[in-house]
Amino acid sequence: MTTKPPPGPRGLPVVGNTHQWARDPCDFRERCAEEYGRVVNYEIIGWDAYMLTDPDDVKRVLEDTDTFPKHDSSTDKLREIVGDGLLTSGGDLWERQREAIQPAFFLSHIENYAEIMVERTADTTDRWRDGGTVDLRDEMMRTTLEILVEAMFGEDIDLQARGIYDAVEAMQRPLKPQNQPVTFLAPDWAPVPFLRRANRARDHLDAQVYDVLDARRRADADRDDLLAMLLDADAEMDAEQIRDEMLTFLFAGHETTALTLTYVWDLLSRNPDAEARLHDELAEVVDGRPTIEDVFEFEYAEAVVKEAMRLYPPAHEIRREPAEAVTFGEYEVPEGSMVLLPTWVLHRDDRFWDDPETFRPERFLDGEGRADRPEYAFFPFGGGPRRCIGQQFAMVEAQLVLATMAREWTLDRNYGDLELSAAVTLQPKGDVPVTTERR
């Protein structure tokens, strides 16, 4: 078969399409998919990018990690921040890490974490007052970070006193869309304030993780948290490697669930019928505080979470780098380029979703045509061997946090349309103020 270069939007000298992409990455990708089809070629931040919009092509890329490893250039900046953890490593190192860490996310361990999820959520709502105002994203971030730290370290650590909240925020700032051109193009010696703050935050978190690690090595307690499993794998993982894994989870392990919950509450506040149906299910299933057994009974709550991830996937795109020249249909994609898998685009593609802009959790219940939908029309956790290791943890956590809050509270939005910022994750651009109303 004769191949040809894929089509795509014309760019400017030097910057390519970066200016178009930076204004609104999600809208830019949607317009490209609509105009150019299966494979779209454009240039962003100096990278030759090829966006794929066919679910079968996405499946091929995610399931063939030898031909399509992680994209090196964009991963390098993450590696500077969190080291060689699961998020950034590849090859044999990644396989050893995955094998060592995977047991921490078996259902038997997640069942142990479930009580932590509910207790830390209750701590959050205990701070609320009827008719008060809170920032929704901040509340969800704090809650999921507290859950993650206790599940990781097996103990209640004062995140505020240790400066962990501020450090995690500073580490994430270089990867916000407005900062990415500077982050990826500035030389190492450039005195960029947010990059300097990120480096200091990394050093601070290093010290905090090593402090906990040293204390754990001196203790005799028998634990089954994530840190205990990493220590059990000590023959394969030295202290620096364990540090990298803990930083990776601190950096990335709580944010995606917090964002999902932020979007869940935003969508419920705009769809009172869906919120009422959720309350009906919670009243029927939950007796007292939610438990892991209740999660096994949830149907609509799970569908609500999935529909929020469809409309607002925190991982809005996945990047890979072909190890050799490849073809997708009639189009050739060169070795060493960037292959983009646009979660946002496929999750809103009307080829696979009726009325795709509408919040309708029923899509994920039986009888909604799921058998006819391609597997990779919905992939909020990625897919293939590198599918998110915490997928089951995140789904249980999101449902338990939602159920714990929604049993007693309604959150009413105090803002207009939710503006989004497509950084490494899909985030609200500004504050998300809501009024907490006791039910």
Is 80 exceeded by the pLDDT of residue 54?
A: yes
Residue 86, pLDDT > 90, answer: no
User: How long is the chain?
Assistant: 439
Of 92-101, 303-312, 329-338, which gets the smallest average pLDDT?
92-101
**Is 180 part of a structural domain of the chain?**
yes
Q: Which residues of 359-383 are buried (b: 16+ CB within 10 A; e: fewer)?
A: bbbebbeeeeeeeeebebbbbbbbb
Q: CA 270, CA 311: separation in Å to the nearest integer?
A: 14
What is the mean predicted confidence (pLDDT) over 88-95?
84
Q: Is residue 12 part of a domain?
A: no
Q: From CA 168, how far away is CA 247, in angstroms rounded?
A: 9
pTM over 0.95: no
- Decide if 13 is inside a domain: no
Most confident stretch, 149-158, 240-249, 323-332, 421-430? 323-332
Task: Give Cβ neighbours of residue 69 (< 8 Å, ≥ 6 apart).
Answer: 90, 91, 320, 321, 323
Report the CATH number at residue 310.
1.10.630.10
Q: What is the per-residue DSSP string for 90-114?
A: -HHHHHHHHHHHGGGGSHHHHHHHH
Q: Is residue 115 part of a domain?
A: yes
pLDDT for position 27: 94
Among 160, 157, 113, 112, residue whose Cα is nearest residue 257: 113
CA distance 204 to 199: 9
- Over residues 100-112, the pLDDT tens digits come to 888 888 888 888 8
Alpha-carbon distance of 16 to 318, in angstroms, equals 20
Cα 167 to chain centroid distance, Å, stands at 18
Alpha-helical regions (H) of 179-225: 180-185, 193-218
Q: Which of 64, 87, 65 is nearest to 75 (CA)?
A: 87
Average pLDDT of the residues of the chain: 88
pLDDT in tens, 130-179: 999 999 999 999 999 899 888 887 766 676 777 777 887 787 777 776 67
Instruction: Answer whether residue 122 is part of any domain.
Output: yes
Contact 304, 274 (CB under 8 A): yes
Domain that holds residue 28: 18-85+92-438
Residue 211 in any domain: the answer is: yes
Task: Supply the pLDDT for residue 15.
Answer: 86
Beta strand 409-413 pairing with 338-341: unpaired
pLDDT surpassing 80 at residue 218: no
Count Cβ atoms within 10 A of the Cβ of residue 158 and give its class: 0-12 exposed, 13-18 middle, 19 or more buried: exposed
What is the average per-residue pLDDT within 112-136?
A: 95
Backbone angles phi, psi at 318, to 5 degrees: -125, 140
pLDDT tens, position by position, 197-213: 888 888 888 888 888 77
- Check: CB of residue 249 under 8 Å from CB of residue 152: yes
DSSP 117-177: HHHHHHHHHHT--TTEEEEHHHHHHHHHHHHHHHHHHSS---TTTTTHHHHHHHHHGGGST
Residues near 296 by beta carbon (within 8 Å), at least 6 away in sequence: none
Domain tally for the chain?
1
For the stretch 350-358, contacts whose Cβ atoms lie closer than 8 Å and that sit 24 or more positions apart, written own/partner, are 352/55, 352/377, 353/310, 353/377, 357/311
Domain annotation covers residue 7: no
Lowest model confidence (mean pLDDT) among 49-63, 132-146, 174-188, 332-346: 174-188
Quote the CA–CA distance of 371 and 369 in Å, as a whole number: 6
Please state the φ and ψ torsions of residue 354, each to the nearest 5 degrees. -70, 135
Q: Let me know if residue 119 belongs to a domain.
A: yes
